[in-house]
Amino acid sequence: MKLKITLSTNVPGVIDFNYQHQIASIIYKCLANTNPDYAEWLHDQGFAGSNGKQFKLFVFSGITFEGPIKISAYGAKKGFTFRATERSPFTLSFQIASPVDEFVQTLIEGVFFEGNPINLGRQPVRIFRVQTLHDNLIAENGSQTVNLAPLETPIFVKKPMPKGVNDLFLYPGDDEYEILLNRNLANKYQALFNKSYEGEPLNFRFKPLAKKSEKKFTIFKQTPDGASEAIDIKGTLKPFGVTGPLELIKIGIECGFGQENSMGCGYVDVVKSG
């Protein structure tokens, strides 16, 4: 299921450039409002895939600003700045998807938890609207071709390297790029259904993009000793067509394509052809 969450504020301010971990914090806060044990389990463990991989099985988009913004590169207002008043509040939205019913239900209940103050980084906001979205995929089974586009959230693929060697960021056209995309989707399938994926892999056709085709940002993860570790993300924003079994395409749509989905990577919209 996909949801669109619209936030509103009547306080002028700024949204940080690296806002992805702040959205993740809002999501876990809403889950904890309803079921703190579930929120803690999902954050610390999640769903077990193959080879010891753990997945959260949700993905969220970048922010869509629904009013004029300015980009400030310096000082205390570094980020996306905007104006807002009581009479003219500022709104922004993001989308979130997951195939896990418990996650979606817990999130919705937590969103409407009374007395729930929310901050997006430095900016106080309130949840203004929650909408259910539909992708209207035609078939439930079998092979299908679907056109997709990242929604302000890069598809991130990183190839593990030997110890002491920096991990390698991969992009469309690189060797093993599609292999790693398919392997990641199959692992998510295993985590969701508790069985191995036995179908055919997906075929990807990435399309040229006239505007910026890559996105970079930094996420922050907690290490086992409780410290905060900064991780640089670099991925593609190119739209793409994908052909193959719909059950695996839906895993990508609802769980995200590529890696670090629960930190704001790999959320896609279905693009209507023609």
Rounded to an integer, what distance in angstroms lies between the CA atom of residue 82 and that of residue 95?
Answer: 21
0.85 surpassed by pTM: yes
Question: Which CATH number applies to 2-133?
Answer: 3.30.70.1890
Q: Which of 219, 66, 225, 213 is nearest to 150 (CA)?
A: 213
Q: Return d(Cα 188, Cα 170) in angstroms, integer.
A: 20
The low-confidence residues of the chain, meaning pLDDT below 70, are 114-116, 138-142, 222-224, 226, 273-274
Q: Which amino acid, one-letter code, is at 31?
A: L
CATH 3.30.70.1890 spans which residues of the chain? 2-133
d(CA 6, CA 26) in angstroms, rounded, equals: 13
Domain with CATH 3.30.70.1900 in the chain: 143-270
> Distance between CA 59 and CA 135 in Å, rounded?
15
Domain 143-270, architecture per CATH: 2-Layer Sandwich (3.30)
pLDDT at position 11, please?
A: 92
